[in-house]
Amino acid sequence: MPKTLMILAHPKLEESIGNKFISKSISKQPNVTVRHLDKLYPDFKIDIKAEQEALLNADVIVFQYPLFWYSTPAILKEWIDQVMQYGFAFGKDSYGLADKKIIVSFTIGSPVKLYPKEVIEKITFPLKGLAEYCNVEYGGAIFCNDINGYSDEAKANALKNAADHSEKLLELINS
Ligand SMILES: Cc1cc2nc3c(=O)[nH]c(=O)nc-3n(C[C@H](O)[C@H](O)[C@H](O)COP(=O)(O)O)c2cc1C
């Protein structure tokens, strides 16, 4: 298992079905560190040095989050804006993460039929672009649909989808 850093963004992890399951199950693997941004930085004051150090210590970086308005939760965007600085992640001779791999992993509340390939490509474009801009290998995007607890049946289905997602994510990390 490569040294894996999961950057987890979820403002209400205690109420989560999908991201709670996925982050817990991946954290049980050897060599995995999970940094839950909302817990570390409830005031959005990100410790840039600590985050950059954590990135440098990893081989694989996983962005894990629930889809919010076709995008990431605000804290992950803030984290990217603060941490992926010129002179660290990109710039003349400063591609500090160039030997690493980025994987994008997210959960979606709505069903598959609302998220065809073209929509997923649009959603993942900014994070794929970030990897390319920083000369980091893009390890691909992985997502699961129907992650909601609207009924007991929906919740059970969401948990099953999250479990399948975790297995696929593990394969992707190890590939
Ligand atoms: C602010 C907000 C925005 C959301 N936007 C979307 C969206 O654009 N598309 C979608 O299918 N679900 C959307 N959802 C639903 C979440 O994606 C869904 O609740 C989440 O993936 C479930 O993961 P969890 O069990 O870890 O909380 C949104 C939820 C919230 C709270």
Task: Give yes or no for residue 107 CB within 6 A of ligand 1.
Answer: yes
Is the pLDDT score of 92 beyond 90? no
| 78: number of Cβ within 10 Å | 17
Which amino acid is present at 20?
Answer: K
Task: Give yes or no for residue 9 CB within 6 A of ligand 1.
Answer: no
Task: Tell me, in angstroms, the distance from the centre of ligand 1 to residue 2's CA.
Answer: 29
Contact 103, 175 (CB under 8 A): no
Helix (H/G/I), strand (E/B), else coil: 148: coil
Edge-to-edge strand ranges of the sheet holding 32-36: 32-36, 4-8, 60-66, 101-107, 137-144
Could you read off the pLDDT of 56-70 as tens digits, one per residue? 999 999 999 999 999
The whole-number average pLDDT for the span 126-146 is 97
Query: What CATH superfamily classification does 4-174 receive?
Result: Flavodoxin domain (3.40.50.360)
The DSSP code sequence of 83-111 is: HS-BTTTBSTT--TTTT-EEEEEEE-SS-
> If you search the block for the tokens 């039929």, which residue do you land on?
113
The whole-number average pLDDT for the span 98-127 is 97
Which residues share a beta bridge with 33? 5
Ligand 1, atom nearest to 158 Cα? 25
Is the pLDDT score of 88 beyond 90? yes
Task: Give yes or no for residue 105 CB within 6 A of ligand 1.
Answer: no
Exposed/middle/buried for 150, CB within 10 Å: 0-12, 13-18, 19+? exposed
Instruction: Provide the 8-state DSSP code for 68.
Output: B
The whole-number average pLDDT for the span 159-172 is 98
Given this model, what pLDDT does residue 79 score? 98
Could you read off the pLDDT of 7-49 as tens digits, one per residue? 999 999 999 999 999 999 999 999 999 999 999 999 999 999 9
The whole-number average pLDDT for the span 83-89 is 96
Indicate the domain borders of the chain. Answer: 4-174
Q: Which tops the pLDDT comparison, 1 or 72?
A: 72
- Mean pLDDT score across all residues of the chain: 97
